[in-house]
Amino acid sequence: MTSRNILVINCGSSSIKFALLDPAHSHFALSGLAERLGSPDAVLHWQQDGQKHSLNMPSADHRGALAQLLPRVEQAANGRLHGIGHRVVHGGEHFTQASRIDSASLAAIRSTAPLAPLHNPANLLGIEAALGLFPELPQVAVFDTAFHQSLPEHAYRYALPEVLYREHGVRRYGFHGTSHRYVSQRAAELSGLDPANSSWLSAHLGNGCSTCAIVNGQSRDTSMGLTPLEGLAMGTRSGDIDPNLFGHLSRTLGWSLEQTEHMLNHDSGLLGLSGLSNDMRSLEQASASGHPGATLAIEVFCYRLAKSLAAMSCALPQLDGLIFTGGIGENSALVRSKTLAHLRLLNLYLDDNANARCVRGESGAIQRAGHPRVLVIATNEERQIALDTLALLN
Ligand code: ADP
């Protein structure tokens, strides 16, 4: 592979995560985060050659932050930046794969904003700022939802009146597609199997969490739905609840739609159950010192995860392996072991030593001999976005 420098950008409403990488190499030439954009405390943090740097840029917006970043990226790329890959959360039904950014794709991303009112407008801010600063450079959008456009209709439709789907796009879309795609390909490579002829369960467990069933390189089912709230218990999100909760809280407590929505997205999950933290590492420590809320939060998290994986297995013709990824999946031997204890019917058992070894970036197989594969694989969404960007530039 000849040397190609791709800048990967992930824009939130007040932040930009970025990484400069050449997909031929495993390390990032430059990476970092601009945060608190639009406020007096806006700041740019970046890492280069093992050194950490920071720059205050009071009141800088997305464009201001990218303008500060540009000379550093060009210097790190020796003046040869080949393209920019943007993470875009929602591609609706329009995008089944990554897309070159032009006026038609921009309009389609804009028209999808009602499905992701917090995320897509923020992603667009980054795209528009980058187009303004690098008008000559090819730019590509890579969607969290695109990988799941291969779901069969019986997996993506809700049991709701058809008009809601047909006229308003109410269906399951799924998220974390870039991560599930990347780790399932890596799993096949590491196992000496053909990605186009193998079946995987994948659990991406970060602050947001989702499971996915992948058959022959295609997503066949996933736990998130219309929005990233559906499915597993997560850091601050409830995951599945009885939808009648909205009416119940309105009638009994007088809660508004917005109050319940806020509680489900920001005050629930590990944080709500434990009353302590949304952070699994903190909860493991608290549970070890006897905090009952932390213990309960971990138990619920693992049981719900196991139930979701068992449900996903309905979409597989055979199981070539289960993959754990994301901050919790890559680091928590406790979560992996508690989850698998609920999945004996799938014949999944761990080798305790291998499980304990796979933490802090150590990937590998952790199943007990003679049982189905269980793999810990570090996700690398930036690398997948860079590869997708490169594929479209070529
Ligand atoms: P994001 O979704 O924001 O990218 P990450 O993938 O970084 O999040 O995952 C964050 C989660 O991973 C947090 O709950 C954090 O506590 C957990 N985590 C990271 N390291 C460990 C560890 N050593 N043990 C348990 N949990 C960990």
pLDDT digits (tens, 9 = 90+) for 20-51: 999 888 889 999 999 999 999 999 999 999 99
Q: Which of 35, 183, 204, 207 is the pocket-test mutation for ligand 1 (most atoms within 8 Å of CB)? A: 207
CATH for 12: 3.30.420.40
Ligand 1 atom 26: residue of nearest CA: 281
Ligand 1 atom 19: residue of nearest CA: 327
Same domain, 204 and 139: no
Centre of ligand 1 to C-alpha 328, Å, is 5
Q: Ligand 1, residue 379: give the atom nearest the CA.
A: 6
Centre of ligand 1 to C-alpha 50, Å, is 22
179 and 204 Cβ atoms separated by less than 8 Å: yes
Same domain, 201 and 129: no
Residue 231, domain member (yes or no): yes
Residue 167, domain member (yes or no): no
Beta strand 374-376 with 321-325 is: parallel
Residue 107 binned pLDDT confidence (cut-offs 50, 70, 90): very high
The tokens for 115 are 């499905």
Residue 387, domain member (yes or no): no
Tell me the H-state helices in the chain: 62-76, 103-111, 120-133, 153-156, 162-168, 177-191, 245-253, 257-266, 269-274, 280-288, 292-312, 326-331, 333-341, 352-357, 381-393
Range of weakest confidence among 46-60, 108-122, 151-165, 180-194: 108-122
Centre of ligand 1 to C-alpha 374, Å, is 19
Closest CA to 70 of 20, 1, 113, 105: 20
Q: In the chain, how many domains are there?
A: 2
pLDDT tens-digit profile of 184-218? 999 999 999 999 999 999 999 999 999 999 999 99
Residue 159, domain member (yes or no): no
The answer, yes or no, to whether residue 161 has pLDDT greater than 60, is yes
Q: Ligand 1, residue 326: give the atom nearest the CA.
A: 6
> Which pLDDT score is estimated for 332?
98
Tell me the residue range of the domain where 243 lies.
193-381
What's the order of all strands across the beta sheet hosting 99-100? 51-56, 43-48, 28-35, 16-21, 6-11, 83-88, 139-143, 99-100
The answer, yes or no, to whether residue 282 has pLDDT greater than 90, is yes
Same domain, 77 and 212: no
> Which pLDDT score is estimated for 134?
87
Centre of ligand 1 to C-alpha 325, Å, is 10
45 and 54 Cβ atoms separated by less than 8 Å: yes
> Which pLDDT score is estimated for 269?
98
Q: What is the DSSP string of 284-345?
A: HHHHHTT-HHHHHHHHHHHHHHHHHHHHHGGG-SS--EEEEEHHHHHH-HHHHHHHHHT-GG
3-state percent helix, strand, coil for the chain, nearest multiple of 5: 45, 20, 40
> Which pLDDT score is estimated for 1?
56
Centre of ligand 1 to C-alpha 378, Å, is 12
CA dihedral 151, 155, 161, 163 (to 10 degrees): 0
Same domain, 236 and 368: yes
Report the SS3 class of residue 180.
helix
The answer, yes or no, to whether residue 123 has pLDDT greater than 90, is yes
Residue 391, domain member (yes or no): no
- pLDDT, the chain, mean: 96
Same domain, 200 and 100: no
Same domain, 270 and 335: yes
Same domain, 227 and 83: no
What is the average per-residue pLDDT within 42-63?
A: 94
CA distances to 151, 176, 265, 283, 383 from 380, rounded to whole Å, are: 23, 11, 25, 25, 5
The catalytic site residues sit at 144
The tokens for 192 are 């000496």
Residue where one domain finishes, among candidates 84, 115, 143: 143
Kindly report whether the global pTM for this prediction surpasses the value 0.85: yes
The answer, yes or no, to whether residue 302 has pLDDT greater than 70, is yes
Residue 214, domain member (yes or no): yes
Q: Which of 31, 202, 280 is the pocket-test mutation for ligand 1 (most atoms within 8 Å of CB)? A: 280
Same domain, 198 and 334: yes
Residues 6 or more apart in contact with residue 121 via CB below 8 angstroms: 13, 113
**Which residues' Cβ are closer than 6 Å to ligand 1?**
206-208, 235, 279-281, 284, 326-328, 331-332, 359
pLDDT tens-digit profile of 347-394? 999 999 999 999 988 999 999 999 999 999 999 999 999 999 999 997
> Which pLDDT score is estimated for 55?
96
Ligand 1 atom 8: residue of nearest CA: 206
Residue 150, domain member (yes or no): no
Same domain, 221 and 348: yes
The tokens for 251 are 């009638």
pLDDT tens-digit profile of 224-259? 999 999 999 999 999 999 999 999 999 999 999 999
Residue 168, domain member (yes or no): no
Same domain, 277 and 341: yes
